Amino acid sequence: MAAIPPTACAAHPTVTAGWRCEHCEALLCPACVEARRMGPVEYFACGGCGGTANVLLRHRSHRALRERLAGALRFPFTVPGLQLLIAVSGVLAVLRSLGGGLRVIKALPLTLALGVFWAAFFALVRGTARGDSEPESPGFTHLFRDNLQPGLRGLGVTMGVFLPALIRATLLLPPASGGEIFARLTHPLEALWVPTVWGDPFVWGLALVGLAWLPWALLLAATSQSLFSALNPLRTLACVRAVGRDAATVTGVFLLLAFLQGVMHWGAEVLLDLDVFLLPNLVAEALTSLVPFATASMLGLVLYVHGDTLGYLPARDFLEPTLGDATPHRAPPALREAPAPEADDPDTPNTAAARARQMDALAAAVDARDVAKALALYGDLHVLPRLKLSPSHHLFVGQAAAVEGDFPLSVKALEAAADTAPDDPTAPRALVLLARVQGEKMGNAARAEEIYRYILHRYPATEAARFAHSRLTSQA
């Protein structure tokens, strides 16, 4: 299904089409297409000729990044954003409060705090890039991979983009002794805030270039690029060219956010002067994390919209239905329910208790891999209580029946495996087997194709979908 620009419906010119018929090639709106179901397989059909209707797709960039930007910047004020902000701020406040005393002792909690901050930042970028409304918090299961590595990556990128300005500023300072050198390293901003440095326009120019460079370096770092790749100016220019006009918007907003972050830091310094245990630290960390989290959400949005041109994910992952979540006006009938059980006749063996024993025997036969007994018991069930058998049991019977050549029973069991629990991992596997039985064993190629298309629609990111795509491609 290729990406097709939005087009009007053939029968309703004022309505945007969301499907195209494979047979008559008509463009269809929700009123002209209908959803049909064959067993557990649901598919779309043209309301005119009955041919299979494919969903029209278009690139995410059809909606401009600027239209989405406000929502991304509001993330820290949403419920998931506030939860993440409070959690990270609490951890940072505790770690920084532990960073007292000797410098050697102080270094450990501050290093951990640096890792927590940058791990949360990069996780938010990647979560937003996936389109997650509630991005997952980073999992700190490995000290180096989940904490130290993100911290070093974030610190290295931030220092790297300002390195030319720092070198220029350092050259303007007078020679220093050992103690002064250590003071400059531990408090660089205080050491550099002297007239000879802040009065130099070249330093300000290099700092401004570094600030404009920083969002793109962070974007590359978030995609697991190496530190040298993230700091490569040629890679940055390639990103800017790939994003196009949105690059100016992103850079301009980032500069405004950087100014706002300076104001937040000033407010945090005022709070930290209050003589109250931990609470000022918590509020200060929250204030200074607001802007970075909004920035991470914005950078994730850039990847969400332009990730294919940046080489982050394949182009097919950036296609979405033209009409979004719109569904056909004509829905398929509900799946056939099992008939209501008749009143039990004490004179017949087909009572509820007898069926329960038969079900237990079937489950035991499947668990014991007794193929002959399992097929016999499964075939003898006149009214199959599907919900009382696990999907894996249906799947086993379907596979075994196909091997034994009992294809009608195989189809019955595989449909039940997919129908009983459509979100279970066994469902796409059962549908693949069902399509193969229908197409390769029973000669019903049309039904097999419908099932393969349903797999692509219902389970797009699975091995089953990749297999279905290969089969449909080979048949084309």
Distance separating alpha carbons of residues 457 and 41, to the nearest angstrom: 10
For 337-352, give the DSSP string: PPPPPPPP-TTSS-SH
Q: Using one digit for the tens of pLDDT, what is the confidence trace for 47-72?
A: 888 788 888 988 888 889 999 999 99
Contact (Cβ atoms closer than 8 angstroms) between residue 375 and residue 409: yes
Rg (CA), the chain: 31
Q: What is the pLDDT of residue 382?
A: 45
How far apart are alpha carbons 437 and 424 in whole angstroms?
Answer: 21
Those residues of the chain that have pLDDT short of 70 are 1-6, 37-42, 99-106, 136, 178-179, 181-189, 191, 277, 332-352, 354-355, 380-388, 475-476
The single-letter DSSP state of residue 27 is E
Angle between the N-to-C axes of helices 246-272 and 279-306, in degrees from 0 to 180, rounded to the nearest 10: 170
CA 42 remoteness from chain centre: 25
pLDDT number for residue 355? 67
pLDDT at 219: 96
Tell me the pLDDT tens digit for each residue of 147-203: 899 999 999 999 999 999 988 988 888 877 766 766 666 666 676 777 888 889 999
Give the phi and the psi of residue 274 in degrees, each rounded to 5.
Answer: -75, 140
From residue 377, give the alpha-carbon distance in Å to each of 373, 417, 420: 6, 16, 19
Residues 6+ apart with CB under 8 A from 441: 402, 407, 410
What does the longest C-alpha to C-alpha distance in the chain come to?
107
* Per-residue confidence (pLDDT) for residue 38, from 0 to 100: 60
Q: What is the pLDDT of residue 41?
A: 58
With tokens 């997952």, the residue in question is: 136
Provide the terminal-to-terminal Cα distance of the chain, rounded to the nearest Å.
12
Per-residue confidence (pLDDT) for residue 387, from 0 to 100:
47
Q: Minimal CA–CA distance to 193: which of 159, 158, 166?
A: 166
Q: Note the pLDDT of residue 210.
A: 95
What does the pLDDT read at residue 421? Answer: 79
Give the SS3 label for residue 34: strand
63 CA to centre of own chain: 19
Residue 108's pLDDT is what?
82
Residue 197's contacts (CB-CB under 8 Å, 6 or more residues apart) are: 169, 172, 173, 203
d(CA 52, CA 213): 50
Cβ atoms of residues 218 and 157 within 8 Å: yes
pLDDT at 260: 96
Spatial separation of the C-alpha atoms in residues 111 and 109, rounded to whole Å: 5
pLDDT for 178 equals: 65
In angstroms, rounded to a whole number, what is the distance separating the alpha carbons of residues 412 and 408?
6
β-pairing, 19-21 vs 27-28, is antiparallel
Task: Identify the CA nearest to 417 among candidates 429, 404, 403.
Answer: 429
Type of residue found at 345: D
Contacts of 335-340 spanning 24+ positions with Cβ under 8 A? 335/37, 335/40, 335/419, 338/383, 338/384, 338/385, 338/386, 339/383
Which uninterrupted H or E stretch holds 65? helix 65-73
Contact in structure between 306 and 242 (CB atoms under 8 Å): yes
Q: Are 130 and 312 in contact (CB under 8 A)?
A: no
